[in-house]
Amino acid sequence: MQNNTFSTLFVGQNLIKLLAVDSTNNFLKRMVSNSEPLPEGTVIMAENQYAGRGQVGSKWHAEPGKNLTFSILLSPSFLPLTAQFNLNMTISVALQKALGGIMGTGLAIKWPNDIYFGHQKIGGMLLENIVSGSRIKACIVGVGLNVNQENFESEIQHRAGSIGQILHRHVDLITLLAEICSHIEAGYLKLKAGNYTNLRLEYLTYLYQYNVKACYRQNGEIFEGKIVDVSEHGFLSLETSQGLKTYNFKEIEFIRP
């Protein structure tokens, strides 16, 4: 179905809206595995995602009808598997630019791919690759954003927020989705053209607590460190009292100030 609401070339032009689904990533993966002929840039959007997922199996809770929960199908076969973090950075930076257009300053990417405003999480993303040999045949980009939700579960309400809460107004979901798709497409086309020499520097510019001394936890122990780099493979480098330390996903925990 051609989507005339979006001024994109392909991202979001095939927009499928669902009332409810376990997770948009799961739904899109099932469609791809069933060999349905889906155009690149297909977007699955759900009003209610009742089993949304974050990084490494963590859950994502969103109030039905008030937030953006969607997945995009991309086919980055031009990208070697070893360079897959470039896609993560591209999507993260695109989200920062899209949201920055309506929210101004204060946004950040919490490594590897959460979206923060100040010290509050307002969203996150999950990239799942379908691999063929040493190439990425397809990538399912899942994004969850707290948009118009005002109430959060008691255990997360101190660290979660929404765009509507911050702006003190209602935000139109489709307009916001169109803006996000436009920025993702622009970043993705730059990546496809091999124009990503400044991508990591841009990602670092938006990075939460970059070059700032803060507390972290590893194996139950709290220590102080300063984020100084993220490698091309996505590893986080911290300057600590024991020297430079490098961490993979989920190896350390951020301690909220």
Are residues 102 and 225 located together in one domain of the fold?
no
pLDDT band (50, 70, 90) for residue 2: low
CATH of the domain at 231: 2.30.30
Look up the domain containing 227 and give its range.
Answer: 213-254
Could you tell me if 225 and 121 lie in one domain? Answer: no
Instruction: Indicate the pTM of the whole model.
Output: 0.93
Of the ranges 26-40, 124-138, 222-236, which is most confident?
Answer: 222-236
The verdict on 110 and 130 lying in the same domain is: yes
Identify the pLDDT of residue 237: 97
* 138 lies in the same domain as 229: no
In a domain, 10, yes or no: no
Angle between helices 85-103 and 173-192 (to 10 degrees): 140
Give the residue-averaged pLDDT of 34-46: 90
Q: Are residues 67 and 172 in the same domain?
A: yes
Give DSSP secondary structure letters for 20-34.
EES-HHHHHHHHHHT
In this structure, is residue 79 part of a structural domain?
Answer: yes
Residue 220 lies in a domain: yes
> Per-residue pLDDT tens for 50-78?
876 554 444 456 678 999 999 999 999 99
If asked whether residues 106 and 225 sit together in one domain, one would say no
pLDDT of residue 231: 93
CATH of the domain at 189: 3.30.930.10
| Whether residue 128 is found in the same domain as residue 217 | no
Same domain, 223 and 133: no
Distance CA 14, CA 23 (A): 18
Tell me the per-residue pLDDT of 151-183, one tens digit each, with 9 for 90 and over.
888 777 778 899 999 999 999 999 999 999 999
Examine residue 91 and state whether it is found in any structural domain, yes or no: yes
Q: What is the mean pLDDT of the chain?
A: 91
**Has residue 19 been placed in a domain?**
yes
Q: How many structural domains is the chain composed of?
A: 2
Q: Strand 120-132 and strand 114-117: pairing? A: antiparallel
Starting at the edge strand that comes first in sequence, how are the strands of the sheet with 114-117 ordered? 15-21, 43-49, 68-74, 135-145, 120-132, 114-117, 107-110
**75 neighbors 58 (Cβ within 8 angstroms):** no
Residue 97 in this model has a pLDDT that exceeds 50: yes
The answer to the question of residue 1 being in a domain is: no
- Looking at the domain assignment, is residue 136 inside a domain? yes
Based on the domain organization, do 201 and 225 belong to the same domain?
no
pLDDT at 4: 64
Residues 62 and 171 in one domain: yes
CA distances from 57 to 21, 182, 183, 227 (A): 17, 28, 27, 25
Asked whether residue 75 is domain-assigned, the answer is: yes
Local structure of residue 171 (DSSP, 8 states): -
Instruction: Say whether both 40 and 115 belong to one domain.
Output: yes
Asked whether residue 172 falls in the same domain as residue 227, the answer is: no
pLDDT score of 256 more than 60: yes
